[in-house]
Structure 1
Amino acid sequence: MAALGSAPRFAALTRALSHRNARIFFAASLLSWTGLWLHRVAVIWLAWELTGSASWVGLVAFCDLIPAVVVSPLAGAIADRVDRMRLTMATQLGIATQAASLGLLAATGHLGIAALLALEVVGGTAQSFAQPARQTLVPAIVPPADLPAAVALNSLCFNVARFVGPAVAGPLIALYGPAPAVLLNACAYVVATFTMPLLSVAQTERRGHAGRGSLLGDVAAGLRYAARHPGLGPILALAAAAALLVRGVQEILPPYVERLFGMGVQGLAVLTGAFGIGALVAGVLLAARGRLAGTTRLSNLAIAGQGLALTGFVATGWFPLGVLCAGLLGAVSSMHGIAVQTLVQSASDPAMRGRILSLWGLIVRVFPALGALVLGLLGEAFGLRWPTMAAGLLAIAVFALGMMRLPRMAAALEDGSSPRAAGDGK
């Protein structure tokens, strides 16, 4: 991997995209995630319109993300046992069905807050199964030397979508209401599903191991493997703490938009787009970096950056400064996510990949949901500014803890070897 660092800028990125599988996979990812961001902006605006309450908006975000607590560990174990291509197709069709149902209810005026909560639980469950199934395929679509660039490209697609989706959603919702945005998400996932058979993936990469023993036993083995790994356990724990403290704000933006900045749906689109632009710039730079050395340090520095950017975001009601800090927060959040995913993909035993990626999926879905719920409740009691500033300062303390563990984590995650699953017979 070190050779990648001496290549011309963006050579790693273009080499990863030279593979046909990668072009198909990432095009479908960009399409489906653009639909997902259309959906997210529409749903949180629907919740705000229906209730006018920051705590209800936080609860809607919570219902979308909390199924990962129960589902993600099981989904990862299943992704290691079954055909990952077929599982991805089935779960993506489930997401499309949920979005179509929600969009039709909203379009016909029959959507209430209870139905919205229930449908978001269904959608969150489907997403929890889709995430490890699809992400375990990333190492199968490029050669090992191109894996860091492919992981960065994967995150880059998500963050391009995070810019494009809200940029389209704001005017669309303002002109036609939230329903069309949700229905477009359903269409995007249908199209993405039917690109899967176009991929040429080796049978050995479509399944982690032959299923034997209990599913819960597989889940427990994955948890033991992560906990005992000197790099994976600590870096996932740090990521969970950062997600809890920092990521919740992006899940419940409407109350911040209205109460701190006095803006409406267009302000929501501008701020969400700023998150996406920052993430896009960081994603391009990290995809061009194309090497593993130093990635652990980078992931930890990004935690400090998130804490500082979040504190700046809520320190004032001046909208231009809020937009700038949103862009910075998007950049360092993307940097952290890409770095952790690269390390996890590189350091995990292939037979454990689905289970480890399901833990990452749990972190990026559950902990922002918990953070959103807590910030929503505290925001009703104390206002949004001070609880959010406290969360940003605590994130800086998490960074300090990470620096204390940095040498050991880096040695375990960046040496290019993947410890086998002890006691698992694989």
Structure 2
Amino acid sequence: MTVTARPRVFEPFANSGFSLYFTGQVLSNTGTWFQNLALSLVILEVTGSAQSLSGVTIAQFLPLLVLSVPAGWVADRFRPRTILLVTTLLSAIVVGGLALTTLDETPQLVAIYALVGALGCVNTFERVAAQAIIFEIVGPAELTRAASLSTIALASARSIGPGLAGIAFQSLGPTACMLVNAGSFLFVFLSVLLIRPSRLHPRARRARTDAPPARRPNRPLATLLVVNTVVALLAMNLGLVLTSTVALTFDGDATAVGAAHALNAIGAIVGGILAAGRASVSVRSLTAACTLFGVSLLANAAAPTLSVFLLAGPLLGLGVGYYQGVLNAAAQASVPPPLIGRTMSLVTLGNYGMVPFGALLMGWVIDQSSGRVALAIGGTAAVACAVFVAARLGRRPSRSPGVEPEADGPAQSEPSTRE
């Protein structure tokens, strides 16, 4: 009898390239929290409206609806490392413009929305490339584990970013927060620059002269994309929902807002580690992940006071981290390497492209009722998605541990990316 050893959760960090990548993502997302929290509080102070705040979310993520698919094509044609070097420099320039805008005591919302929209265009290409580069850094053997661990970068940033941002906003103001984010992009540029191109694993693609094989429907991937879209629309607007719940429903200050996000992130780190520790990951794993996420959202929605809400924060983070870790790993494992860029562009389209619509909906819900109602809607949607995955895939056996049936057959390959 063959015994399969349980994989070591943190094995990808033995790869210096992945360590550099992970560090850069932590720095980038920490800086983003400085920017987002500062802009959120500035707009709430000026307008007192969650719908006005949702305008920032819409401007930031609406470009994804138009540019995600082209970004996937670019990530499959060019080295993601090159894309990241370009996008991080452009992001630093745009965030510098936001810093200038916030020097005004009553900043113009139109200018903020325009600059955030420009940043969203750049970030679309950056987000897809940041997912596509994981395979090139670690190779196929460590792909699902590294993809799950990459979500911990988001959680780690949430554990330190909001709290530090709240302190910086209170003592230094919004402009300083913008400058911190601009600096974080420059750190990311340096970390990517230090990743050696010669040590990357090239992804293959079919030769153009080859006849394409007969395509089979990829039922697991289609299921994942549906779940991703529904959850993103109704349950993943946590930046807006948590900030509005603390500030508007519970009358908390900037420090309380930062604490809510930080406590949420502590649980998300644990959730990401649990996802990375799975011996195998498939789309069917989303049944448990969506259930955990939904229950944690409903528990937070039931919190009667700010103190109880903060205490429940780590549970919500656990659900978010586990769900995101499983989702990213399952998506990359469900397709051949040549299609990772385009597949992750579809995941990005669902995950972030629905954010503007979710922001509009949740902003209206919060203004009409409360943030707790918005959390309850998200929790119900996540549980419904768990039922959907179980009904659609529960009786179909996996073909191999950790890998879903591929949409295409074996492909002949040649180098697919270039500097």
Q: Do they fold alike, i.e. is TM over 0.5?
A: yes
Per-residue CA shift, 1:287-328, capped at 9, x if unaligned?
3x15215x5444222212222222222324311221233221
Say if 1:253 and 1:268, in contact at 8 Å, map to a contact too.
Answer: yes
In structure 2, what is the equivalent of residue 312 of structure 1? 299
Question: Shift of residue 272 of structure 1?
Answer: 0.7
User: Distance between the aligned counterparts of 1:420 and 1:397, measured in 2?
Assistant: 26
| 1:44 and 2:32 are equivalent in the alignment | no
Which of the numbers 355, 359, 364 marks the counterpart of 1:377?
Answer: 364
Which of the numbers 64, 68, 75 marks the counterpart of 1:68?
Answer: 64
User: Distance between the aligned counterparts of 1:382 and 1:189, measured in 2?
Assistant: 38
User: Distance between the aligned counterparts of 1:211 and 1:31, measured in 2?
Assistant: 38
| 1:301 and 2:301 are equivalent in the alignment | no
Give me the identity figure in percent: 23
Question: Shift of residue 50 of structure 1?
Answer: 2.3
Say if 1:348 and 1:356, in contact at 8 Å, map to a contact too.
Answer: yes
- Structure whose residues are more often helix by fraction: 1
Per-residue CA shift, 1:8-34, capped at 9, x if unaligned?
xxx331x21111212222121221121
Say if 2:274 and 2:322, in contact at 8 Å, map to a contact too.
Answer: no
User: Distance between the aligned counterparts of 1:6 and 1:422, measured in 2?
Assistant: 29
1:224-303 equivalences under 5 Å are 228-287=217-276, 289-293=277-281, 295-303=282-290
Answer with 253-262 or 88-97: which moved more: 253-262
| 1:193 and 2:193 are equivalent in the alignment | no
Say if 2:76 and 2:340, in contact at 8 Å, map to a contact too.
Answer: yes
SS class of match (2:304): coil
| 1:181 and 2:177 are equivalent in the alignment | yes
User: Distance between the aligned counterparts of 2:218 and 2:367, measured in 1?
Assistant: 41
1:9-20 equivalences under 5 Å are 11-13=8-10, 15-20=11-16
Gaps of 5+ in 2: 414-419
Gap change, CA 1:30 and 1:382, over 3 Å in 2: closer
SS class of match (1:231): helix
Name the aligned partner's letter for residue 6 of structure 1: R
Answer with 180-189 or 364-373: which moved more: 364-373
Gap change, CA 1:390 and 1:85, over 3 Å in 2: closer
Say if 1:63 and 1:124, in contact at 8 Å, map to a contact too.
Answer: yes
User: Distance between the aligned counterparts of 2:399 and 2:307, measured in 1?
Assistant: 42
User: Distance between the aligned counterparts of 1:410 and 1:165, measured in 2?
Assistant: 42
In structure 1, what is the equivalent of residue 88 of structure 2? 92
Answer with 329-338 or 302-311: which moved more: 302-311
User: Distance between the aligned counterparts of 1:210 and 1:130, measured in 2?
Assistant: 25
TM-score (norm 2): 0.88
| 1:328 and 2:311 are equivalent in the alignment | no
| 1:351 and 2:348 are equivalent in the alignment | no
Gaps of 5+ in 1: 214-220
TM-score (norm 1): 0.87
Say if 2:31 and 2:181, in contact at 8 Å, map to a contact too.
Answer: yes
Say if 2:206 and 2:412, in contact at 8 Å, map to a contact too.
Answer: no
SS class of match (2:398): helix
Name the aligned partner's letter for residue 59 of structure 2: C
Gap change, CA 1:320 and 1:292, over 3 Å in 2: same
Question: Shift of residue 131 of structure 1?
Answer: 0.9
Gap change, CA 1:326 and 1:54, over 3 Å in 2: same
In structure 1, what is the equivalent of residue 132 of structure 2? 136
Say if 2:297 and 2:379, in contact at 8 Å, map to a contact too.
Answer: yes
**Cα-Cα RMSD:** 2.9
User: Distance between the aligned counterparts of 2:207 and 2:114, measured in 1?
Assistant: 32
Gap change, CA 1:234 and 1:297, over 3 Å in 2: closer
Question: Shift of residue 393 of structure 1?
Answer: 2.0
Say if 2:220 and 2:404, in contact at 8 Å, map to a contact too.
Answer: no
Gap change, CA 1:212 and 1:34, over 3 Å in 2: farther
Say if 1:352 and 1:421, in contact at 8 Å, map to a contact too.
Answer: no
Say if 2:205 and 2:411, in contact at 8 Å, map to a contact too.
Answer: no
SS class of match (1:144): coil
SS class of match (2:406): coil
Q: How many residues align?
A: 409
In structure 2, what is the equivalent of residue 168 of structure 1? 164
Gap change, CA 1:165 and 1:415, over 3 Å in 2: closer
Say if 1:243 and 1:368, in contact at 8 Å, map to a contact too.
Answer: yes
In structure 2, what is the equivalent of residue 105 of structure 1? 101
Question: Shift of residue 330 of structure 1?
Answer: 1.4
User: Distance between the aligned counterparts of 1:51 and 1:409, measured in 2?
Assistant: 52
Name the aligned partner's letter for residue 165 of structure 1: G
User: Distance between the aligned counterparts of 2:292 and 2:241, measured in 1?
Assistant: 20
Which of the numbers 115, 119, 131 marks the counterpart of 2:111?
Answer: 115
Gap change, CA 1:412 and 1:46, over 3 Å in 2: farther
Which of the numbers 344, 352, 355 marks the counterpart of 1:365?
Answer: 352
Question: Shift of residue 104 of structure 1?
Answer: 2.0
Per-residue CA shift, 1:137-167, capped at 9, x if unaligned?
1112124322232112211122101111112
